[in-house]
Amino acid sequence: MTESAQQRELGVALLGMGTVGTEVARILVENADDLAARVGANLVIRGIAVRDTGKDRGLKALGLKKSLLTDDAEALVGRDDVDIVVEVMGGIEPTRSLMLSAFKAGKSVVTANKALLAEYTGQLADAANKARADLYFEAAVAGAIPVIRPLQQSLAGDSVELVAGIVNGTTNFILSNMAEKGEAYETVLAEAGRLGYAEADPTADVEGYDAASKAAILASIAFHTRVKADDVHREGITGVTAADIEAAKAFDCTIKLLAICEKFTDAEGAQRVSARVYPALVPVKHPLASVDGAYNAVFVEAENAGRLMFYGAGAGGAPTASAVMGDLVAAARNKVVSGRGPRDSAYAKLPIAPIGEVLTRYYVAMEVADRPGVLSAVANEFSARSVSISTVRQQADTPDQGARLVILTHKAPDAALSATVEALKNLDVVTAVSSVLRLEGTND
């Protein structure tokens, strides 16, 4: 143990002791000497806030006393011997209020709470700045994958143009298995539940809410503009079918749930920000296409650095705790030298573009009558709204003696495509528009 570590202690309050909290406590105990040497002070757990102090949480095996447990989180946060608050309890309240109390008392905060940050980053960052304290949240986006710090620090002198990624392991597991096994969404979802990849209520994952929160955080940092979850256009994967998966393969693509944060210049020459989450076709040659199972990856394009990719375990107790510990060490080092980490940067204040203005390519699948003139009628609807068709494929006859028509477009505004789809639904030669997906990761 170093001399400086012997001379000083830094108190840590741990809010929550679920899967991640338990791993954080374990690392703090098992790696105490190494952490002290790295920080220049001993990191000491002052207390652990939980809802039920009577529950067996394995403290004895960790070498911790049960007396550390408390159900009074507010009192723990306010203690004079606490320097850093680590929040891994989740939820919005009382978590937000506890973090604000911590800042008011001059404590630094480390959190993994994506939903809270996506809604209240501005308020929390302002409170941290007022207190001259740190707010760290690397674990909020992609588990062990370092994404936040590279965007905040490594690329601080560059201009980030695009951040796109697979940031939800549950949906990636489902889509990867649908592609590999050719099974329906419902079948693979049930398997994901049995294996522990999907929650009993998977709505937050499969409907894109989890990814949207992460997209809001990434866009806010990348483009120096505060973006909330409600600003993110969101679509889930529940409508993706086995037929879509097979059609994607025919176009040398796979389907992934993407979180896309993009800075672009509109027709009037003004810069705008788009943040969106939806299932999309991705060419198999794109780096994100090979990210399978429950893994995550984030792809970044910057003006000078070019293309960068970050890949790894996006969830789980130990991987997430690793990211939390990285933040805790950074916050502790700042305490030792009376310094501060990166502060919230929202100077750009770029407007958020509605989804209707976003340009991208599309995959449109429809059931049509199998007779002459159908393709011409369909093509006219695309042409009437200036949506250029790239590729047309007719698949095998459907059971009702019709045909399945699959169309890929060139880039077009989302509003124009939406209008085209509505017009197609009203054509007497179109039985149904069965799928509409975007195509991302191409240059045309």
Query: 362-387, pLDDT tens digit by residue?
Result: 999 999 998 889 999 999 999 999 99
Burial grade of 268 (CB within 10 A; 0-12, 13-18, 19 or more): exposed
pLDDT class for 6, splitting at 50, 70, 90? low
Residue extents of the structural domains in the chain: 9-143+318-337, 147-313, 356-439
| Tokens 């256009």 -> residue | 233
Quick one: pLDDT at residue 267? 82
Mean pLDDT over each residue of the chain, to the nearest integer:
94
pLDDT for 69 beyond 60: yes
Query: 121-136, pLDDT tens digit by residue?
Result: 999 999 999 999 999 9
List beta partners, residue 132: none
Kindly state which CATH superfamily the domain 356-439 is placed in.
ACT domain (3.30.70.260)
Greatest alpha-carbon pair distance for the chain in Å reads 86
Instruction: Please identify which of the residues 214, 256, 263, 335 carries the catalytic annotation.
Output: 214
Task: Of 22, 9, 21, give the one whose Cα is nearest residue 62.
Answer: 22
Residues of each annotated binding site for NADPH: 114
Q: DSSP letters along 110-132, please?
A: EE--HHHHHHHHHHHHHHHHHHT
Helix-strand-coil split of the chain, %, nearest 5: 40, 25, 35
Residues of each annotated binding site for NADP(+): 15-22
CATH number corresponding to 147-313: 3.30.360.10
Would 9-143+318-337 and 147-313 be classified into the same CATH topology? no
pLDDT for 1 beyond 50: no
Strand 359-368 to 430-439 pairing: antiparallel
pTM of the model as a whole = 0.93
Q: Tell me, which fold does domain 9-143+318-337 have in CATH?
A: Rossmann fold (3.40.50)
CA dist., res. 4 & res. 42, Å (int):
9
Quick one: pLDDT at residue 4? 47
Three-class SS of residue 33? helix
pLDDT for 398 beyond 60: no
Quick one: pLDDT at residue 164? 97
CA dist., res. 370 & res. 400, Å (int):
10
263 is catalytic: no
How large is the average pLDDT for residues 420-432?
A: 96
CA dist., res. 63 & res. 66, Å (int):
10
Which of the residue ranges 14-18, 343-347, 392-396, 432-436 would you say has the lowest mean pLDDT?
Answer: 392-396
How large is the average pLDDT for residues 286-297?
A: 93
Question: Is 147 in contact with 218 (CB distance < 8 Å)?
Answer: yes
Residues of each annotated binding site for L-homoserine: 199
